[in-house]
Amino acid sequence: MNKYEPLRDYLLKEKRIDFVLTFEEIEEILGFGLPRSAQRAEWWDDDSEHHPKLQRQAVREGGYDSRRTPEGNKVRFRKTSVFGY
């Protein structure tokens, strides 16, 4: 079980193509606080076969890509496929 599944489920229901959530909003969705490492940009957008990250897997399964915003306390989510392919 992936502890980030509540975020995945939230994203699966989301209709917006592009939107931003604060860390606080994400923590409310998850039901727990994000780790300090979530403040690093690569925590949200870096994932590899050799170093899989549960949060990235949940975001991807939810149909989105994620990037930390430049101010560092928000995350932009963008739909990976607008056409459902």
Per the domain annotation, does 84 fall within a domain?
A: no
Tally of structural domains, the chain? 1
User: Which pTM does this prediction carry?
Assistant: 0.87
Per the domain annotation, does 54 fall within a domain?
A: yes
Per the domain annotation, does 85 fall within a domain?
A: no
Per the domain annotation, does 47 fall within a domain?
A: yes
d(C-alpha 52, C-alpha 15), whole Å: 27
Question: What residue numbers bound the domain in which 75 lies?
Answer: 5-79
Distance of CA 50 to the CA centre of its chain: 19
d(C-alpha 61, C-alpha 5), whole Å: 9
Indicate the pLDDT class of residue 49, thresholds 50, 70 and 90.
Answer: low
User: What mean pLDDT do residues 14-32 have?
Assistant: 97
Query: Which run of H or of E encompasses 60?
Result: helix 54-61
Q: Residue 46 pLDDT more than 90?
A: no
Per the domain annotation, does 11 fall within a domain?
A: yes
What confidence score (pLDDT) does residue 82 get? 61
